[in-house]
Chain A
Amino acid sequence: MLRKEQNDLLTQTGPGTPMGQLFRRYWLPALLAEELPENECPPVRVKLLSERLLAWRDTQGRLSLMDEFCAHRGVSLWFGRNEENGLRCPYHGWKYDHTGQCIEVPSEPEESGFCKKIKLKSYPLVERGGILWTYMGPPELKPPLPEWEFALVPEDRRFVSKRLQECNWLQALEGGIDSSHVSFLHSGELNKDPLFKGSKGNQYNLSDRKPVFEVVESPGGLYIGARRNAENGNYYWRITQWVMPCFTMIPPRADHPVHGHFWVPIDDENCWAWSFDYKVMRPLTHEEVQAMRDGQGIHVKYVPGTYRPLANKDNDYLMDRAAQKRGDTYSGVEGIAMQDASLQESMGPIVDRTKENLVSTDNGIIMMRHRLLRTLKAMEKGETPPGLDLAHQRVRSAAIVLPPDQPYKDAAREALMVQPGKAHVSV
């Protein structure tokens, strides 16, 4: 349970809000690189942290993310002409460069220099790992570019997708660190989904459906460990990573690609669920990539021409009651991502956390909220939030069998950090 003011604090990320200021300290995924495929391609509308922006790529390939609207009369520059190193408003011809600087106002004498007085707000936009990242915070506090492992492996070892989720970002993130729902909601997928099936870890999952949890603070966020009995008195651990503010990484299964998410606010009632899969030591196979494109694993099929899931609230998520009854799927919704999203969206755009009844197994969620609230207080005193240090980003999730007495953050220390040239520790 949260008090209303706490819920508001954590769920509101617009300009000037404390949580919005926290998000604005990090490089965030803004677009897939494929959305701006070539120089002078059509601009793309982007809304992030409740700000309406426009992404475009100029004649020289320079990337731009700036205020969507012309400074003159407020026309959307999505209608603009992307030409000769600038984006020109089609209404009266005002032209902007990739920094948002107005470089031409045709109605004014060129000698007057009027255009120099006009500049749209803009943010840096940088490509890394198939994603265009932006930083929307104070320029003097801009951190180094992100070093998430998946974004640094060769292109053929990575697959990234994004999908629209029509609820507040925190609901989505909470699903990402809620390990206890897997045994129910996704139970149909463990032995069926091509990106999950066949691991020994699945046997532990299915033979011990009452895991015990350990939540441990990490430098950048949290480790959330789920423990099940293994052979010879040992424990099988699945250790999820959360790194502030919105990165989660799911423990691997066998040699399947490792996956994770970013949960990025669009506004207070929508977010982007970014999903990545990668392997460190080998390229993804054709079959793996095809499965991801087909919406398997943590990815989805789209409404053609959009990043909205094909199964969405406008078609009742293609609910199949017969499949639910047969046990093909636990909830009747197909696919891991939409099984989660359908339930999280059903809570409403921003769930009222004053009414919830959390239980002991929700401690991962409780601790995550606690750390966010603690960080907001610390930022008031000028402290740097966790997750900015690149060492906090060089993390891995792990699936590992360990002796019973050791703290897993100690016994699995190496497995939980990026180990160049070594595969993920997986069972």
Chain B
Amino acid sequence: MQTESARMSSAKEARFRIDAPNSLQRATKVIALDAPSEHVVKRLATRPWNGAAFFTATAFGAAPSRGASLRGWLSDLAGRTKSLVDEVNSADLVVMVATAGENVPAASLIGEACSLKRVTTTALIAGSAGKSDDVLAKTLSQLRPWALMLVIANSDDYIEDMLRALRA
């Protein structure tokens, strides 16, 4: 006689798996940290998403002082000012998008806010193909302390696939 494991792992039995939603919509906040990434994020934002919201932190400019960290501001893609704390508070996942070689001073602010609010962070460095390790290290060192998952992709076409895979 077949064991339960044998029977239940068959293709025939797979047909009886419950076909009902098994998750609620996630709140994914995607934040561009530099000007080239802002172009990418703006392009992505025009597509349909499952609740993902897109922002830019490029207006932070020079690195803010640590004491000012939680008073940081984001911009949505229409240019409206948004409170970093409010956006992090309502996030399940914050994705920081950077470009290899760029300076990303906002990473520490956003990372600190996420750390305080126990929100998972993912950082993505795109456009690493052809960039030297020194150039890459400059961006990496600013992101590494603040990202629970860091991805270094050769091109920016990964971002969309990643967000889709994460049901963003």
Contacts and interface: CB of A to CB of B under 8 A. Distances in A.
B149 A215 contact: yes
A111 to B, nearest CB: 52
12 contacts: A1-B166, A214-B152, A216-B152, A217-B153, A345-B9, A348-B17, A352-B14, A357-B167, A359-B120, A366-B161, A370-B161, A405-B140
B23 interface: yes
Interface of A: 1-2, 166-167, 212-217, 269, 313-317, 342, 345-350, 352, 355, 357-363, 366-367, 369-370, 373-374, 404-407, 409-410
A211 B150 CA distance: 12
Interface string B85-111: 000000001000000000000000000
B154 A217 contact: yes
A316 B5 contact: yes
A314 B2 contact: yes
Given A317-B5, A367-B153, A358 B22 contact: no
Contact of A357 (B23, B128, B129): B23
Nearest to B94: A360
Contact of B14 (A215, A316, A348): A348
Contacts of B141: 405
- Majority DSSP secondary structure for residues of A touching B: mixed
A407 B165 contact: no
B6 A215 contact: no
A212 B149 contact: yes
Contacts of B153: 217, 367
B22 A357 contact: yes
Contact of A212 (B22, B93, B148): B148
A58 to B, nearest CB: 38
Contacts of A313: 3, 5-6, 9
Nearest to A361: B149
A2 B10 contact: no
Interface residues of B, number: 42
Contacts of B63: none
Interface in B1-45: 2-6, 8-11, 13-14, 17, 22-23
Interface of B: 2-6, 8-11, 13-14, 17, 22-23, 93, 120-122, 128-129, 133, 136-137, 140-141, 144, 147-154, 157-158, 161-162, 164-167
Nearest to B120: A360
Given A355-B22, A358-B167, 11 more contacts: A213-B150, A217-B128, A217-B153, A269-B11, A313-B6, A314-B2, A314-B5, A348-B13, A349-B9, A358-B165, A363-B122
Contacts of B144: 214, 404-405
Nearest to B132: A410
A40 B84 CA distance: 74
A32 to B, nearest CB: 26
Contact of B166 (A213, A214, A346, A359): A359
B6 A212 contact: no
Given A345-B9, A346-B9, A352-B17, A1 B154 contact: no
A367 B2 contact: no
Nearest to A373: B161
Contact of A214 (B121, B150, B154, B164): B150
A356 to B, nearest CB: 9
Contacts of A213: 148-150
Nearest to A269: B11
A236 to B, nearest CB: 14
Nearest to B18: A355
Contacts of B93: 360
A1 to B, nearest CB: 6
Contacts of B13: 348
B162 A407 contact: no
B9 A407 contact: no
Given A212-B147, A349-B11, A357-B167, A410 B133 contact: yes
A157 B125 CA distance: 40
B126 to A, nearest CB: 11
B4 A349 contact: no
A357 B121 CA distance: 17
A316 B137 contact: no
B148 A1 contact: no
Contacts of A355: 17, 22
Nearest to B123: A214
B3 A217 contact: no
Contact of A367 (B3, B17, B22, B151): B151
A316 B3 contact: yes
